[in-house]
Structure 1
């Protein structure tokens, strides 16, 4: 009588497959996490640009900057507050993902400054109109968390 042999995978073959899956997961997990944060960073940047635009338009019309987000109009509210973006009246940095915004903008007769970030993002943007980095005003700078 001939014995029939069962076909299947050996323990070593299964361990090799599990090791390969583990290595692939370790390689792709960081890029997946960065991809999850990218839309939130884009929302913060879009909010910052909306604030800068609204402040500059307001300055041309009223010759004054605004410190309150609500006074900047519905467009800024939609882009910032409705998307969960935090705004703080400081362009100095020092924010973390857990920081709380106050929806205010630091301003004077000839300058305004603020920081924006999304709690689920990877960093925040800071703006100071008169920081001296450009002829026509400030620039947005990124601070990673």
Structure 2
């Protein structure tokens, strides 16, 4: 009976080695997860910046149908600066050629980079293309439609 009581006391908790192993596993998981999370955050910031300038394309098409040039972002209903764009510029000529550009504000990987919708002249079809100033290895943050 006495040995049974001693056995129960010996199994009362975790050993120091077991706790150290758990802490080491958590540390390894954190070391892998944090960089992946930072990449995810940067990618979402670039996508949000693109989403903030995309509505301007519709207004540009309306202005082109009216034969009016665009000189500033506020002429097409965009703010000059937003949460994800420190500066938004829009310049579209009456020929239809021009661009809507955002200077990105976010974490250190993407701050200061630009993302742009460029429109070809009406005579060339007036197609929109997306480009970014982010280059390898940071181009992994750019949405697929901009690559």
Please give the secondary structure, in 1, of the residue aligned with 2:70: coil
Distance in 1 between residues matched to 2:125 and 2:35, nearest whole Å: 39
- TM-fit CA distance, 1:135: 4.5
1:67 is aligned to 71
Q: Is the 8 A contact 2:64 2:94 kept in 1?
A: no
Change (3 A) 1:55 1:85: farther
- TM-fit CA distance, 1:22: 0.8
2:90 is aligned to 105
| C-alpha RMSD of the superposition | 3.0
How many residues are paired up?
123
> 29, 49, 72: which one pairs with 1:44?
49
- TM-fit CA distance, 1:56: 1.6
Higher helix residue share: 2
1:14 is aligned to 19
Q: How does 1:79-94 map to 2 (within 5 A)?
A: 81=81, 83-86=82-85
Distance in 2 between residues matched to 1:106 and 1:71, nearest whole Å: 10
Decide which structure has the larger Cα Rg and report it.
2
Q: Which runs of 5+ in 1 are unaligned?
A: 87-99
Distance in 2 between residues matched to 1:41 and 1:72, nearest whole Å: 21
Please give the secondary structure, in 1, of the residue aligned with 2:129: coil
2:119 is aligned to 129
- Higher RCO (C-alpha under 8 Å, 6+ residues apart): 1
Q: Is the 8 A contact 2:70 2:90 kept in 1?
A: yes
Distance in 2 between residues matched to 1:23 and 1:143, nearest whole Å: 34
Q: Is the 8 A contact 1:48 1:125 kept in 2?
A: no
Which TM-score applies when normalising by structure 2? 0.64
Which TM-score applies when normalising by structure 1? 0.65
Q: Which runs of 5+ in 2 are unaligned?
A: 139-147
- TM-fit CA distance, 1:38: 4.2
